Amino acid sequence: MKTSDFDYNLPQEFIAQSPAEPRHSSRLLVLRRDRPELEHTTFWNISDYLQKGDLLVINQTRVIPARIVGKKETGGKAELLLLRRVDEVTWESIVGGKRVLVGRRILFENGPTATVVEDLNGPRRLVRFDQPVEKYLEERGQMPLPPYIHEKLENSERYQTVYSKVPGSAAAPTAGLHFTPELMTHLNALGVEFANVTLHVGLDTFAPVNEEDPEEHHIHTEWCEVSPEAAEKINRFHTEGGRIIAVGTTSVRTLETAARHAGAGQIVGAFSEATDLFILPGYQFRVVDAIITNFHLPRSTLLMLVSAFAGRERMLNAYLAAMEAGYRFYSFGDAMLIL
């Protein structure tokens, strides 16, 4: 297995620059692992493929407006993208600007002062603020859209799922962006239920794997949690014969990490910790029966994950078919249902 096995060419025009309106009007490609044909529909019609007793596991994380612009004491511009809170005033960050070195102070207008306390290699720095920064983020922070989205997002809520509750992500769990309250009510009426888990998405989720052998790649860790209530519901639905359907690769990673904590007679156990689970072809899934997902970047850990679930060749052939049919790719793009 080589990283190049997960490469494909995607012309720029296929990268969605704005979300579908309404959310559930995006297209849906359905791949059944037990048959060769692909099906094409819209996301609202996902109900045609679900049934009473299915459990959709959704990631309730909320993206924080984590990009803030300030100035160095010397007057030069400096930008911070806050990735992960270490303690009340310390954040792992990506810095923009020249010579943002350890000891450098960054001043924010009518706001906090940050000091770089550690170089984490490349553009990453550990920064310490002189006060908690959450309120300033809500007032002045900008949404950290992925680098391949170049159009301005007029409504920042369109980069949040409608069920987002727990702030902490640097990027949205994008498979969930297709759901609307109307669709969720419609699914509930059919006997399809939801369970909430949390995984705070890091920007490393977009990073390509550069190592020739993907098994040598150092997977990013992300904090995630399955509550006792969610674990009980997931185990109960599984015992009663329902399908456990992960909404997004973040939910897949959370559920399969929860399998490590399962007790006797369970498929998942409650937990709250960072996960380093790296799912590559050959991985044996213990919890997930189906996946709702978007179309992922070449050479990414996310493409490797869905390839582990459906097969590498089948995924790449499905991506080619999606391009031929004019599907939109990446965060604001269309969706896949893998059964």
Q: Which one-letter amino acid corresponds to residue 24? A: H
* Cα within 13 Å of Cα(51), Cβ side: 5
We find that the CATH architecture of domain 67-140 is Beta Barrel (2.40)
Q: Tens-digit pLDDT profile for the chain (339 aa)?
A: 899 999 999 999 999 999 999 999 999 999 999 999 999 999 999 999 999 999 999 999 999 998 999 999 888 899 999 988 889 999 988 898 888 899 999 999 999 999 999 998 888 899 999 999 999 998 999 988 888 999 989 899 999 999 999 999 989 999 999 999 999 999 999 999 999 999 999 876 666 788 999 888 888 789 999 999 999 999 999 999 999 999 999 999 999 999 999 999 999 999 999 999 999 999 999 999 999 999 999 999 999 999 999 999 999 999 999 999 999 999 999 999 999
3-63+153-338 fold: QueA-like (3.40.1780)
**Residue linked to tokens 């590498």:** 312
Q: Which one-letter amino acid corresponds to residue 61? A: T
Q: In the chain, what are the domain boundaries?
A: 3-63+153-338, 67-140
What's the pLDDT at 157? 95
- Alpha helices (H) in 85-177, listed in sequence order: 134-140
Q: In whole angstroms, give the CA distance from residue 78 to residue 212.
A: 34
Q: Which two tokens stand for residue 44?
A: 């609202």
Q: In whole angstroms, give the CA distance from residue 33 to residue 18.
A: 30
The DSSP secondary structure of 192-216, one letter per residue, reads -EEEEEEE---GGGGPBP-SSSGGG
Length of the chain, in residues: 339
pLDDT tens digits for range 2-41: 999 999 999 999 999 999 999 999 999 999 999 999 999 9
pLDDT tens digits for range 32-84: 999 999 999 999 999 999 999 999 999 999 999 989 999 998 888 999 999 88
Q: Are 57 and 227 in contact (CB under 8 A)?
A: no
